[in-house]
Copies of this chain bind each other. A is one copy, B any other.
Amino acid sequence: MRSSRYFLPVLKEAPSDAQIVSHQLMLRAGMIRQEAAGIYAWLPLGLRVLNKIEQIVREEMDRAGAIELLMPTIQLADLWRESGRYDDYGDEMLRITDRHKRELLFGPTAEEVVTDIFRASIKSYKDLPKNLYNIQWKFRDERRPRFGVMRGREFLMKDAYSFDLDADGARKSYNRMFVAYLNLFARMGLKAVPMRADTGPIGGDLSHEFIVLAETGESAVFCHKDLVEMPAPGPDLDWINGDLQPLVNQRTALYAATEEMHDEAAFNALPEGDRLSARGIEVGHIFSFGTKYSEPMKATVQGPDGQQVPVQMGSYGVGVSRLLGAIIEASHDEGGIIWPESVAPFDVGIVNMRQGDAACDAACETAYNALKAAGREVLYDDTDARGGAKFATMDLIGLPWQLIVGPKGIAEGVVEIKHRKTGERHTASLESVLDGLTKSKTT
C-alpha cells in the first residue's frame, strides 16, 4: 500500500479524554475514530490489526475442533424470556422495538440463540460433542464506556458454545478451550494468565478469566508469579482424543484469582516471593454451566439408554476488539506502538527520505515490488512529508521493520533497516536487506 493513496489520518495529539495509552495511541495512529460514546469506526490501519487478531482466534478455534457459524446481531426478546435472562440482564442490554412492535435486542452474548440452533437440529448423543462458535459484533450498553476499545459498547467478540452429553464430556470441552486460549493469546505475544473467576450473568459454577497483567487494568488480580512466564503448550496436541487435563491442572494448581474470587488466606499461604498482586485486563472468559440454558429451553438429546437428557453446555468468550488495546498496553514505548509480528498491520514500512529523487524513488519501488512479490505486506510512505515526520509516523504505527531509503545512502549503494522493537539499525545493500526481509518474518 502506498501512503499517498491510503487513508491513515494520524494525529499529533490524542484528545484529552483518552486516559490510557492504548486509547491515545489508537487514536493518534489513525486506527479508530469514535462515532458515539463507546462506538468506534475502525479505520483502515485498525481494521487490518483487528482482522489479524480475528484470524488467529479463528485458527485456534478450528484447531481445537470448534465449528464456525455466524449468529445475527439482532435477537428476539422472547428467546431470552425462555432462559429467564430477559428481565435479569438489566440496563446493559440494548432493547429495541421494531415497526411491528416486536421486542428485539442487540445481542450482548448468544447463549440463547445458539441453544435454539442446537435444539432445532441435534437430537442424539451420537452427534456430540459439538462446539459452535462465531465472531460477531456485540453490544453492551455500558453505563460509562471508557478506555477506547477496552470498554466500548459495540465490540467484536468470539463466542464459542460447547454441547456434551455429560459432565465428563463437558469438562473435556472446557479443557480444550482452556488450552486453546493459552495458545491463541501466546500467538499474539500476550502473557495471559487463567484465573478463577466469578460467573456473573452467564452463570455456572466453573469459570476462568484470562488476564493480561497491565497497570491500566480495570481489575485487581492475584496469582502465583510462575503462572505469568509459563509457556503455552503449543498446537501439537491431540485435540480430539487427548487428555488435556494435566495441562489445565499444571496451571490451576497454582493460585490465581480475580478480585471477586480472591481468597486472601490461600494467597497469603504462598511464600511471599511467589505472590503477585497486580492489575489486569480480561481478554477471555470461559464458563461451564451445565444445564442452565438447556433445561429451560428444552435442548435435550437422546442418550445411549434412549432417555432424553438436557445437554451440558459451556461458553467461551474472547474480546477480539479489546485485544488491540491489551496488546498495545503490553507493547509500546514513547514513540508509539510496537506490534508483535503476528498482528502487525503491515510487516514492513518503507520510508523514502526524498520523494521525487529519481534514485530514491527507484530503490523504493524496487523494494516495494520485491517485498510484495514475496508475500510481505508493505506500507510505502511515498508522500512528500519530511523525513522526520515519516519516521515519527512509522514509529507511531509500530510496524516491525522500517526500510529507510535516503539520497546519501543510495549514492553509496546502501539503505538502512530499523527494527522497531529494539530500535537497532543496520546499513547494508538494498539487495541484502531485501534478502533478509523476504526470507522470513523473524529475520
Chain A residues with CB under 8 Å of chain B are 5-7, 9, 30, 33, 35-37, 39-44, 47, 50, 65, 67-76, 79, 91-92, 94, 96, 98-99, 102, 104, 106, 113, 116-117, 120-122, 130, 132, 137, 139, 141, 143, 153-154
Contacts and interface: CB of A to CB of B under 8 A. Distances in A.
B141 A9 contact: no
B68 A116 contact: no
Given A99-B141, A99-B143, A141-B98, A113 B35 contact: yes
Given A42-B70, A44-B69, A76 B7 contact: no
Contacts of A106: 73-74, 96, 106
B117 A41 contact: yes
Contacts of A130: 7
Given A99-B91, A104-B36, A73 B73 contact: yes
Contacts of A47: 68-70
Given A35-B113, A47-B68, 15 more contacts: A7-B67, A7-B132, A9-B122, A33-B120, A35-B71, A35-B79, A36-B74, A36-B75, A37-B102, A43-B117, A72-B137, A73-B137, A94-B98, A99-B141, A106-B106
Given A43-B117, A132-B7, A35 B99 contact: no
Contact of A44 (B68, B96, B139): B68
B35 A67 contact: no
Contacts of A132: 7
B40 A72 contact: yes
